Structure formats: structure tokens, C-alpha cells
Structure 1
């Protein structure tokens, strides 16, 4: 059996795969971007994932390649496949997580519900879209955006002039994604894991709360959700995973509208912030499940361990010292909360860790999770 897993990217997602790999007796190696990365405990190589030779050399040391992020160039992914390396998820699936315009086009072909959208290449095209959508639009860069980066709400095309200028600097042109501004009740996420041989497993639908464009809190399962919405979320995620040939964990970020419709916002083909609650709140965490899936092993139970689990991100961290310096007070005050840190230095708005609380009473669980995050120096 293949048991050596290589992860490209040394961030917190790779870091959280390490305990799962240890428990399963798997060898996990990481190609990190820099020394001292979050996943430094497993970083067997440091190099640029934009360099094909570096990535191919790393791939020679493992049985299967997977990812901490979706930013490895498609050309390099295809070189890996051509050289006979197992890549999970593969480039044919990852391209739809790497390029939002490609994602919108493919989901449209599949009949997946989405916000109204258009690819716009000029300010005039964007202004026409704005005029047709109540005088405003959400614009996104097709590639590279995350945690609120590469996203703007605009009411005039001139507000995107700098983005169009950057797109055209190389002379090849390009397009932005323009979307209608959705009047939604809340944001949900449906996580799914799928094996290369086809079987998949779904976690409960969760509610996500964003502040400043960054995920702040996750409620699992999403409180008070209509059974029809749960069924629709599962069907959407399963259809996308099967039709796109996704392997490993995929998160489908969703808008729940005021009339109980679901619209797909974003896709992530890797473990995702909306699934961090599963480390402590699910029988099988998203990180263990991802490793199982990319190795085509039987998937684990995704049931919950408690009626309510709440995850709160620790954003920024303490203004002085490191997050571990806050442990004596935080751990004493909230002994029932699980703390996960990412090995990062504090910085305003930066994800430096998360806390998870669980129990029978939602209000109590929320209070304990927020209290622990605040004591650890979260700035939201």
C-alpha cells in the first residue's frame, strides 16, 4: 500500500495533517515555502512550488502528492502526472478551484445554482453589469484570492480600474469575475471527502461567520437548518465532487437566501477552515479523512461527538509575546476548550490558531469558545 504522502505547502493545513498521519502510521513529508513554516515538523524540503524541478524532485520521495493550497501552477501539476506521479486531487479537478471563472462556467454546465455572474474584460463591461444589478457588483480576481483578498464590492467600474490595469500589463489581457450581490440570510459550508475509486462521505452542514472577509466562527451542525436545505447542500456537493473528479476533501461555500435557496459561492479542494471543528467535534476529522481519501482507503465516520461544536479562529494574537504566553490564564479559565495553534507569530488579522468548544447547550458552547479566543488575544 502507498503510505508516503507529500504535501505541497507548509501552512497550517499541512501542520494539522501531521497528527492524523502519525495516528495512521503514515509517512508525511512537506515541501514548505520557507524555513520555519507552520508545518516545519514535517518539512523535509524547502523550495518554490512554482519551480517544476523542485516539485518533481520532491515528488520522487513520496507515493502521492496532495496540497495545503491550490496555487501550484497547472503546468507543473500536469508535468507531475506525465512523469507518473500520483496527484490527488489532480489538475483536471484543481483547475476549477484555481480559476473562479473556470469554476463558474463548469458549474453552470452542471446546472449548479450560483449568483448571476459575468466575465468582464473592460470597465465598460463591468459598468453594464453594475447597471443591470441594482447599481453594484461583487468583483473578484479569477486567481489567487483568499480570506477576503481579491474581492471588492463596487458601485462604479472606475473602482476596479487598478485591477484592469494589472490584468493588461503583460499585454495578454484578462478578465475579472463580476457577480451579483446576494441578499443572503447566512453563509453555510458543506464538506465532502471523495476517494479516487468513487465513494464519498459528507460532514454535517455548518454555518460560517465572516468578519472583515475572514472566517471568524463556525457552528456545527448549522443551527436551525431546514431539512430541505441539508438535502440540497449534500446533493450539490456530491454532484460537484463526482462530476469534477475531486479527490480528498472539498469545501463548498454556500449562500443561504431568505427563501431557502442555496447558491454556490466558492470551492476549496483541500481541508478548509470551515472544517477545523471536525478535529474535536467529529468522529473523523477532515485531516484524517483527507489522508484516507488521497490514499483511496475506506473513509471514516463523519458523525458528531456532541450536539453542538463551535470553532472560533484566533486572529491576530496577543499584542505582546507569543500565544503560548497566554496559556496559563486561558487554559485555566476554559479547561473544556481545545486549543490549536499554528506556530505563527502574532500579527493583526493573521490566523494564528483556533479554539473549539462542544456540548449540549449552544449558548454555553459559544460563550466558552469566544472567551477562550479572546483570552488568547484574538482581535475580532
Structure 2
């Protein structure tokens, strides 16, 4: 029997599921949002992922449905479940990745360490929170934000006044999420995979570096993480996966604070940018593991192929849109680099690909990965 996996969303995450699907003999189908998307190679159609009938019709062609993103509405997800379609992760878990306020409430119930936070519905409530937290705060829209969108550091509520107006115009009320501005020394990420039958596996915790709210670099494993840091990250990730009932890959973004705390920042219930290094640096990539998980197949090993791996995102790209020249130059200059391009047109700040290098010496690995990625900058 050939397994048939349907992926809703045609971005680069769906694209990177295609090679392991082919290797495992899985028939992978993608419902893309528009023509010419990154995963067009596996797209079986273009459709509106917010439309119930469109998604149900797509689901009839596959055995299990999973996702390239977390934006499919709950009503559509519930309709899939009601129709008997296996959905991984399911709506009960995905709600906590879709709504940051629900996520904070649930993690608080579980005793998971987080920044201090509050739901704020008015300018006055936010100003009070800011005053109680040293004169600044991080404010997030509860839904829809990613890659730095829907996130602002503020010193006064007036700086997000239009977000409060949008809440009023929505007609459903609601609130923004206010969080303490954490004094952190670095950002970490713990990737976990969980099968519907309950088995859990983890990769080593990694360190990530952000630029303008977008992941720019990842170091695997996170330097100086052996022992307490790795153990805490693994415990937090495992608890969240099990208690929220996540199926598939889960990414838990973390802060390591200057006062030695490990705090949860964000959750993503799908393959994640901080796990792209696993394609070349791990025995089993996050994309293969995600497919195994949603089909409830045995997990692959998650160890490193080399002591160190570094992933550098290619952001923006050359202004003239030419990727062939930089790609050839990067491959010639850094023959140990693994280049992954996403089939996207270059645009300022856009993720159009990544470079991974693995090896025995972290400094050499980082140098080579940065050198390869630099060929794509103006």
C-alpha cells in the first residue's frame, strides 16, 4: 500500500517534504494557495485553505492531512475531523499555535516557564502593564503573526493604538498579548516529534540568531548547552508535545535569560526554520520525521552526522533576480556547503533559501556557511 499524505500550504516547508516522501515511497500532494509557489513541484491543485468544501475535496484524495502553516481556520479543521479525516496536528493542538493568548494560558496551567504576560484589551491596561515592567513591553497580536510580524517592543500603548482599533473594528472584541521584555543572552529552539500513538523523539537543542524578527542563523547543537540547558529544553519540549497532544514536528522557541532561566517564547506545530539543518546534519531530517510521525510510522534516529552544523538563511537575494550566478559561485567557493533554494523570486527580507555546513570545527563550519550565503547578497 502506498501512503498518501496531503499538505495544506505550498511554501518551502511543503517543498522540503517532497524528497523524503519520494525516498519513503509516499505519495505526497500539496494544496497550494496560488500558482507558482515554492512547492509547485508537488502541487495537485490551487485552492483556498479557508474554504471548507475546497479542503474537504482535497482531503478525499489522501489518507492523512498535515500542514505547511498553521493558518487553516478551526471551523475547517473541525470539518475535516468530523468527516473522519486523520489530521495531524489536530485542531485541539493547533489552537495553541494559532492563538498566542490561548497558548500562554495553557502553558501556565502546565507550569511551563514563560515571560510574565497579560491579555490587554485597552490602552489603559497596556500602559499599566508597561509601568509595572520597567517602562517597556513586547506586544503581540494574538493571531496571525510570524517572522516578526505582529510583534512590537513598546514604551507606550500609543505605539500600538492601531492594533486596538483593529480589535474594535473586528466586532468580536479580543485582546493583545503583552509580555515582559526579557533580558536574554541568546535564543534557543527545541525540536520534538510525536506520533499519534504517543512515541516522542527529540533533536539536540539549537541556538538561533534573529535579524529583524527573522531567523538568520542556527548553530546545532547550541554551544555550551550540554547538561542543564539541554535537559531543561528537552523536558519543556516533551511536556508541551505530550500535554497539548501535538502530532508531527513541534518547534519550541526559547529564551536563555541572563539570570539563568529557560523561558518559552513561541510554538510552531510543523517543521520549522530552526530545524532546516537536519536535512544535511542529522540522521533523520525534520521533514522525513514529520512524515513518519503523521503516518504513525517508527521514528528515525536524530543524532548528528558531524559534531557541528550551521544553517544560514539566504534573505532577500540579488536585486537583479539572478540566482544562477551566485549559486554556481557559492558551490565553487565552498564545496562542503549544501545549498537549498526554494524556487522563490528574490525580495527584500524574503527567505529564498538556506545554506548548511557540517564539520568537526564550529568556527570553520560557521565561516564556510556564511561565506557561501554571502554570494547571494547585493
Superposed, 1:210-229 pairs within 5 Å as 210-229=210-229
Residue in 2 that maps onto 1:139:
139
Residue in 2 that maps onto 1:373:
373
Report the secondary structure of 1:148's partner residue.
coil
Superposed, 1:1-380 pairs within 5 Å as 3-377=3-377
Q: Distance in 1 between matches of 2:371 and 2:282?
A: 22
Q: Distance in 2 between matches of 1:235 and 1:367?
A: 32
Report the secondary structure of 2:170's partner residue.
coil
RMSD of aligned alpha carbons: 0.9
Moved more, 275-284 or 227-236: 227-236
For residues 260-305 of structure 1, give each alpha carbon's deviation from its aligned partner in whole angstroms, at most 9, with x where no partner exists.
2100000000000000000000000000000000000000000000
Report the secondary structure of 1:6's partner residue.
strand
Aligned pairs, number: 378
Are the equivalent residues in 1 in contact too, given 2:282–2:304 (CA < 8 A)? yes
Moved more, 322-331 or 244-253: 322-331
Q: Distance in 1 between matches of 2:262 and 2:327?
A: 40
User: How far off its partner does 1:45 sit?
Assistant: 1.2
Q: Distance in 1 between matches of 2:313 and 2:323?
A: 13
Q: Distance in 2 between matches of 1:257 and 1:220?
A: 19
Q: Distance in 2 between matches of 1:93 and 1:139?
A: 24
Q: Which runs of 4+ in 1 moved over 2 A?
A: none
For residues 347-378 of structure 1, give each alpha carbon's deviation from its aligned partner in whole angstroms, at most 9, with x where no partner exists.
0100000000011111110000001001123x
Are the equivalent residues in 2 in contact too, given 1:248–1:269 (CA < 8 A)? yes
Are the equivalent residues in 2 in contact too, given 1:2–1:64 (CA < 8 A)? no
Q: Distance in 2 between matches of 1:171 and 1:19?
A: 44
Q: Distance in 1 between matches of 2:94 and 2:217?
A: 26
Q: Distance in 1 between matches of 2:175 and 2:324?
A: 44
Moved more, 98-107 or 171-180: 171-180
Are the equivalent residues in 1 in contact too, given 2:2–2:25 (CA < 8 A)? no
Q: Distance in 2 between matches of 1:19 and 1:119?
A: 42
User: How far off its partner does 1:100 sit?
Assistant: 0.2
Report the secondary structure of 2:335's partner residue.
coil
Q: Distance in 1 between matches of 2:356 and 2:205?
A: 17
Are the equivalent residues in 1 in contact too, given 2:2–2:26 (CA < 8 A)? no
Are the equivalent residues in 1 in contact too, given 2:2–2:27 (CA < 8 A)? no
Are the equivalent residues in 2 in contact too, given 1:5–1:66 (CA < 8 A)? yes
Report the secondary structure of 1:44's partner residue.
strand
User: How far off its partner does 1:2 sit?
Assistant: 6.7
Q: Distance in 2 between matches of 1:170 and 1:217?
A: 37
Q: Distance in 2 between matches of 1:341 and 1:322?
A: 12
Are the equivalent residues in 2 in contact too, given 1:145–1:151 (CA < 8 A)? yes
Report the secondary structure of 2:312's partner residue.
strand
Report the secondary structure of 2:292's partner residue.
helix
Q: Gaps (5+ residues) in structure 1?
A: none
User: How far off its partner does 1:43 sit?
Assistant: 0.3
Q: Distance in 2 between matches of 1:175 and 1:256?
A: 27
For residues 42-92 of structure 1, give each alpha carbon's deviation from its aligned partner in whole angstroms, at most 9, with x where no partner exists.
000101101111000000000000000000000100000001101000000
User: How far off its partner does 1:226 sit?
Assistant: 4.6
Q: Distance in 2 between matches of 1:277 and 1:61?
A: 31
Q: Gaps (5+ residues) in structure 2?
A: none
Report the secondary structure of 1:246's partner residue.
coil
